[in-house]
């Protein structure tokens, strides 16, 4: 297939592009190169992709529907990963534009360009405060403006896809980590503090539980969902073995051979105490399961960071 990937220069997007190319697809990467994090980091994410046969890159504003239409022409599907991330870094208006309005624009442009299938990246943040492993049919009660915007993006996408005749698949990612992780995310900040010196901000006591997902597993799930996900299907994508943040930091410090000092701060009420995904639907319908343990995934992230620091 010929597949468009928005947010192609980002953390998850660059890995998804690599996976799709490895599976034999052609990929059109789309990225607006917003200032959320440095362009040089995104260019580094793209370094291998720019040399890969079958990959093209278009720098476009995803809110410019008129410019998107010709770019999307001839595509079989679009994987919409771009958005405004971060639970604590944005106003409601920024989240609305970055997550909801871009989704509206992409669906409108895809329909006009004749694209008939779209995958939308969502987040475990739509669930809010839950106990145990959550299924895709659980109530969605987001705690943050970010989570609310991802929920609104899902709802807008479902309505527009039905109106425009586009097949829609939604993935809810749970705490993705691995090489090239965004610099604002916890493991990347831990690594930077350990290698460069300085303290690591720690919100709460470290006993928060997360269903950490290795980025290679997330990319594999995304590729399978593009091909196998049913129209209207929603799928959890997670590591399948929830662990505390403190345990993950211990593993990461062991791989790096050092750990930074922690600057402990109060927990943020916009973060759930625990996340955990029921992966039954993804196993049955996508024939996907996570393959990378937290220890192995963190070893890969630490090795990548250490090599980049040389």
Every domain of the chain and the residues it spans:
2-177+213-239+275-290
Give 157-202 pLDDT, tens digit per residue.
999 999 999 999 999 999 999 999 999 899 999 999 999 888 888 8
> Whose CA is closest to 300, among 187, 186, 175, 202?
187
pLDDT value at position 306? 86
Q: Look at the pTM and tell me if it is higher than 0.75.
A: yes
Q: How far is CA 29 from the centre of its chain?
A: 15
Q: In angstroms, rounded to a whole number, what is the distance separating the alpha carbons of residues 247 and 255?
A: 13
pLDDT value at position 264? 87
Give 215-267 pLDDT, tens digit per residue.
999 999 999 999 999 999 999 999 999 999 999 999 999 999 999 989 888 87
- Per-residue tokens: 38: 């440095």
pLDDT value at position 8? 96
Of residues 196 and 25, which shows the higher confidence score? 25
> Is the distance from CB of 124 to CB of 275 less than 8 angstroms?
yes
Question: Which of 1-5, 202-206, 288-292 bottoms out in mean pLDDT, i.e. has the lowest?
Answer: 202-206
Q: Which long-range contacts (C-beta less than 8 Å, at least 24 apart) are formed by 62-65?
A: 62/6, 62/30, 62/32, 62/102, 62/105, 62/106, 63/97, 63/101, 63/102, 63/105, 64/105, 65/105, 65/108, 65/109, 65/112
pLDDT at 309 over 80: no
By three-state DSSP, how is residue 278 classified? coil
> Is the distance from CB of 183 to CB of 307 less than 8 angstroms?
no
End-to-end CA distance of the chain: 38
Q: In angstroms, rounded to a whole number, what is the distance separating the alpha carbons of residues 268 and 250?
A: 22
- Per-residue tokens: 112: 């006009």
Share of the chain above pLDDT 90, in %: 83
Q: In angstroms, rounded to a whole number, what is the distance separating the alpha carbons of residues 113 and 97?
A: 22
Share of the chain above pLDDT 70, in %: 99
Helix (H) or strand (E) holding 244: strand 243-244
pLDDT at 310 over 70: no
Question: Taking the CB of residue 258, how many other CB atoms lie within 10 A of it?
Answer: 11
pLDDT value at position 243? 97
Q: In angstroms, rounded to a whole number, what is the distance separating the alpha carbons of residues 271 and 281?
A: 25
Report the pLDDT averaged over residues 15-35: 95
Give 86-128 pLDDT, tens digit per residue.
776 668 899 999 999 999 999 999 999 999 999 999 999 999 9
Cβ neighbours of residue 66 under 8 Å, at least 6 residues apart?
Answer: none
Q: What is the set of active-site residues?
A: 146
Give 256-304 pLDDT, tens digit per residue.
999 998 988 887 788 888 899 999 999 999 999 999 999 999 999 999 9
Report the pLDDT averaged over residues 61-66: 95
pLDDT value at position 302? 95
Question: Do β-strands 234-237 and 167-173 pair in parallel, antiparallel, or remain unpaired?
Answer: parallel
> Whose CA is closest to 105, among 156, 146, 152, 180?
156
> Is the distance from CB of 13 to CB of 216 less than 8 angstroms?
no
Q: In angstroms, rounded to a whole number, what is the distance separating the alpha carbons of residues 64 and 213?
A: 32
Report the CATH number of the 2-177+213-239+275-290 domain: 3.40.50.720
pLDDT value at position 278? 98
Report the pLDDT averaged over residues 18-32: 97
Q: In angstroms, rounded to a whole number, what is the distance separating the alpha carbons of residues 303 and 275?
A: 27
Confidence of residue 36 (pLDDT cuts 50, 70, 90): confident
Residue 206: HSE in the Cβ half-sphere, 13 Å Cα cutoff: 13
Question: Taking the CB of residue 58, how many other CB atoms lie within 10 A of it?
Answer: 16
């Amino acid at each position: 297939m010929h597949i468009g990937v928005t947010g192609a220069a980002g953390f998850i997007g660059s890995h998804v592009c690599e996976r799709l190319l490895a599976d034999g697809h052609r990929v059109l990467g789309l990225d607006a190169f917003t200032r959320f994090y440095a362009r040089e980091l995104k260019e580094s994410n793209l370094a291998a992709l720019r040399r890969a046969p079958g990959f093209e890159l278009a720098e476009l504003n995803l809110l410019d529907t008129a410019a998107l239409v010709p770019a999307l022409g001839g595509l079989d599907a679009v994987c919409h990963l771009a958005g405004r991330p971060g639970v604590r870094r944005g106003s409601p208006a920024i989240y609305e534009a970055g997550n909801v309005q871009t989704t509206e624009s992409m669906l409108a442009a895809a329909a006009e360009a004749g694209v008939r299938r779209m995958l939308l990246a969502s987040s475990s943040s739509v669930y809010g405060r839950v106990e145990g492993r959550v299924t895709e049919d659980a109530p969605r009660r987001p705690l943050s403006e970010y989570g609310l915007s991802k929920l609104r993006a899902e709802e807008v996408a479902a309505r527009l896809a039905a109106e425009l005749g586009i097949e829609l698949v939604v993935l809810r990612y749970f705490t993705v980590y691995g090489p090239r992780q965004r610099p604002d995310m916890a493991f990347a900040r831990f690594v930077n503090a350990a290698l460069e010196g300085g303290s690591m901000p720690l919100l709460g006591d470290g006993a928060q539980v997360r269903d950490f997902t290795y980025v290679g597993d997330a990319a594999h799930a995304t590729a399978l969902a593009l091909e196998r996900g049913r129209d209207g299907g929603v799928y959890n994508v997670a590591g399948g073995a929830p662990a505390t943040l403190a345990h993950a930091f211990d593993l990461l410090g062991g791989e790096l051979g050092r750990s930074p000092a922690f600057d402990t701060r109060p927990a943020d009420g916009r973060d759930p105490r625990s996340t955990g995904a029921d992966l039954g639907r993804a196993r049955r319908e996508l024939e996907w399961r996570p393959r990378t343990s937290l220890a192995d995934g963190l070893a890969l992230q630490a090795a990548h960071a250490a090599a980049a620091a040389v």
